[in-house]
């Protein structure tokens, strides 16, 4: 009687692939469920308008100064560009809690239309602050 060893190997290989395929989505889902953190704290010390007529904010942290562009252009009825911050618009003196990723700052806002609860601002400029002389 002859045994077909190729058949046993193909079942074993298929079983291994099946187990790997089942474990991949679980790992992907659990990685996406990580809560978003906002480790940077900075105070808004100025606002302005970019060359594209969008609102900018100058934000100072302990170690850096950022210029963040809201990206909201002025509408036809207004002379000033749109503002960021959701229902409570960002103002000079406000403290922002944000994170920086791939050239953008993300701030927490009340739930937005897309359900994210955060707003993206483009980092126009980032400067390291000189240490204070003592």
Q: Distance between CA atoms of 75 and 68, rounded to whole angstroms? A: 20
Q: How far is CA 34 from the centre of its chain?
A: 13
The mean of the pLDDT values for the chain is: 79
Q: How many CB atoms lie within 10 A of CB 66?
A: 23
Distances, alpha carbon 47 to alpha carbons 92, 93, 120, in Å: 7, 11, 17
pLDDT at 79: 59
Higher-pLDDT residue of 36 and 94 is 94
- pLDDT bucket at 21, cuts 50 / 70 / 90: low
Q: What is the mean pLDDT of residues 74-80?
A: 59
91 pLDDT above the threshold of 80? yes
- For residue range 104-115, what is the model confidence (pLDDT) as tens digits? 999 988 765 556
Q: How far is CA 67 from the centre of its chain?
A: 16
């Amino acid at each position: 009687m002859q045994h077909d060893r190729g058949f046993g190997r193909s079942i074993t290989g298929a079983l291994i692939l099946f187990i790997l395929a089942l474990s991949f989505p679980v790992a992907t889902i659990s990685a996406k469920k990580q809560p978003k953190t906002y480790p940077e704290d900075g105070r808004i010390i100025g606002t302005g308008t970019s060359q594209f007529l969008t609102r900018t904010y100058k934000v100072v942290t302990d170690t850096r100064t950022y210029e963040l562009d809201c990206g909201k252009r002025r509408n036809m009825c207004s002379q000033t560009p749109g503002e960021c911050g959701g229902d409570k618009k960002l103002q000079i003196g406000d403290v922002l809690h944000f994170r920086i990723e791939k050239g953008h700052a993300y701030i927490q806002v009340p739930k937005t239309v897309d359900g994210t609860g955060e707003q993206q601002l483009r980092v126009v400029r980032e400067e390291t602050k000189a240490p204070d002389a003592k």
